[in-house]
Amino acid sequence: MYEYSILEQAKQLQETLVSIRRQIHAYPEIGFNEIKTSALVADELRKLGIDVSTNIAVTGVVGTLKGKYPGRTMLIRADMDCLKLDELNDVPYKSRNEGFMHACGHDAHTTCLLGAAMLLSQYREQLKGNVKFVFQPAEEINGGAHLMVKEGVLENPRVDAVMGMHIWPTIQAGKIGIRYGALCAAPDFFKIVIKGRGGHAAVPDKCIDPISVGCQVYMGLQTIISRRIDPLEPALITVGRLNAGTSLNIIPDVLVMEGTVRTLDKELRKRMPQMIETMIKGITEANGAGYEFEYRQNYPPLFNEDTLTRLMEETGKEVLGAQNVVIIQKPTMGGEDIAYFQENIPGTFFIIGTLNPEKGADKPLHSAQFNIDEDILYKASAVIAASTLKYLE
């Protein structure tokens, strides 16, 4: 079977993949500013004789590998952007761009997809159909996938299936994680402004205290989760920023709170803004305060299609061994903008384990000390390539 030879072929690429990953890691770039990263990606794809389009969704790169025979088209996506964070790792490839770091594994995602391109380009003469290698900007902050879809990345040729991957520091290095159905929540955002009437802290009866009202609103939001939603339905409301006041003896005029709503069910997602605003309105009116409410829907929830996920599970077992494929039992409330690709196209998104305390790969995502076990690079590349070949067959 080709899967085993692909793993061996991928292992021969390991030194190259480590070098690429370290180059990207050393020069992290924030969303829509991935200039150096995009240039590296485009150069590597051109070396393989793959058709390359650049400046898609500002800094995105799309490589199209056209097989010798007609068939379906698989899109494989990796994100390229970094986080605003000062790296604390003491490694030779530590970030040289002060204030920026690849703390979410996007350097590895990009490298694994380039590895898959290196492997699949060797099968051009046997390939049925096409492969689109999509290197996406701005996953962390702006939802660059949405812009790529608007600019036609799912067309010419029309995409039939989507695949993506994410590094995961709680699954042992060398294993992959598979999840059927819902995997990631929709991460929506809100801003609430409570308008009171400020004054001296010694005469609260002459004021309308927005802090008191804001505290009631905060607790009220939690009762939406505990009393308005089916307890078996995953959902959360988190207030991550609350700001009011300038001095300990002054009641302020205004309190501002901002937060996120996470849901998996599409109908519940639609209902959340109305439930939140009803709660805010009732509490503010009862206290004689006013309010402003902003709600912004962000990425859709991410759902894995069963047939493609089963193909990924089977291929993972063939390539890495059944003991190295983990079935993920619960979804995460984190968001992933590949959901924009998978809204209308069947897709699967799998997890690449990188937990290895002996190599210092045991810190959480978005940590200033996050790092990976680089031995996963060739293994993930092999799984991506083998799954693509199996799908196109």
Distance of alpha carbon 214 from alpha carbon 130, whole angstroms: 54
Distance of alpha carbon 63 from alpha carbon 379, whole angstroms: 21
- CATH number of the 186-296 domain: 3.30.70.360
Helix (H, G, I), strand (E, B) or coil at 206: helix
Residue (of 198, 194, 186) closest to 281 by Cα position: 194
What pLDDT sits at residue 1?
A: 45
What pLDDT sits at residue 141?
A: 82
What pLDDT sits at residue 3?
A: 55
In the chain, % of residues over pLDDT 90: 98
Residue 299 annotated as catalytic: yes
Distance of alpha carbon 257 from alpha carbon 194, whole angstroms: 8
**Which residue type does 298 have?**
N
**Which residue type does 188 have?**
D
Instruction: Flag whether pLDDT at 4 surpasses 80.
Output: no
Helix (H, G, I), strand (E, B) or coil at 198: coil
Residues of the chain with CATH 3.30.70.360: 186-296
**Both tokens of residue 253?**
């005029």
Looking at every residue in the chain, the average pLDDT score rounds to 97
What pLDDT sits at residue 85?
A: 97
Q: Among 44, 139, 336, 374, which one carries the catalytic annotation?
A: 374
Helices (H) and strands (E) counted in the chain, each on its own, are 10, 18
Residues of the chain with CATH 3.40.630.10: 2-183+301-392
- Please, what's the b/e burial string for 69-88 (b: 16 or more CB within 10 A of its CB; e: otherwise)? eebbbbbbbbbbbbbebebe
What pLDDT sits at residue 217?
A: 98
Q: How do residues 179-203 score in pLDDT, each as one tens digit?
A: 999 999 999 999 999 999 999 999 9
Distance of CA 334 to the CA centre of its chain: 8
Which one of 3.40.50.880, 3.40.109.10, 1.20.1560.10, 3.40.630.10 gives the CATH number of domain 2-183+301-392?
3.40.630.10
- The vertex-87 CA angle with 85 and 88, nearest 5°, equals 130
DSSP type of residue 159: P
Q: How do residues 7-45 score in pLDDT, each as one tens digit?
A: 999 999 999 999 999 999 999 999 999 999 999 999 999
Q: What is the maximal distance between C-alpha atoms in the chain? A: 82
**Mean pLDDT, rounded, for 351-378:** 98
Instruction: Flag whether pLDDT at 386 surpasses 70.
Output: yes
Confidence of residue 156 (pLDDT cuts 50, 70, 90): very high
Q: How do residues 238-254 score in pLDDT, each as one tens digit?
A: 999 999 999 999 999 99
What pLDDT sits at residue 118?
A: 98
DSSP type of residue 190: E
What pLDDT sits at residue 2?
A: 53
Q: Among 299, 340, 378, 391, which one carries the catalytic annotation?
A: 299
Helices (H), the chain: 2-12, 14-26, 35-47, 106-120, 144-150, 210-223, 266-286, 306-320, 339-342, 376-392
In sequence order, which residues have a C-beta less than 8 Å from that of residue 221 and are 6 or more positions away? 237, 239, 259, 276, 279
Residue (of 53, 14, 56) closest to 34 by Cα position: 56
Confidence of residue 344 (pLDDT cuts 50, 70, 90): confident
Q: How do residues 95-120 score in pLDDT, each as one tens digit?
A: 999 999 999 999 999 999 999 999 99
Helix (H, G, I), strand (E, B) or coil at 284: helix
24: number of CA atoms within 13 Å, CB side? 30
What pLDDT sits at residue 153?
A: 98
**Mean pLDDT, rounded, for 343-354:** 96
**Both tokens of residue 354?**
């990188």
Residue 374 annotated as catalytic: yes
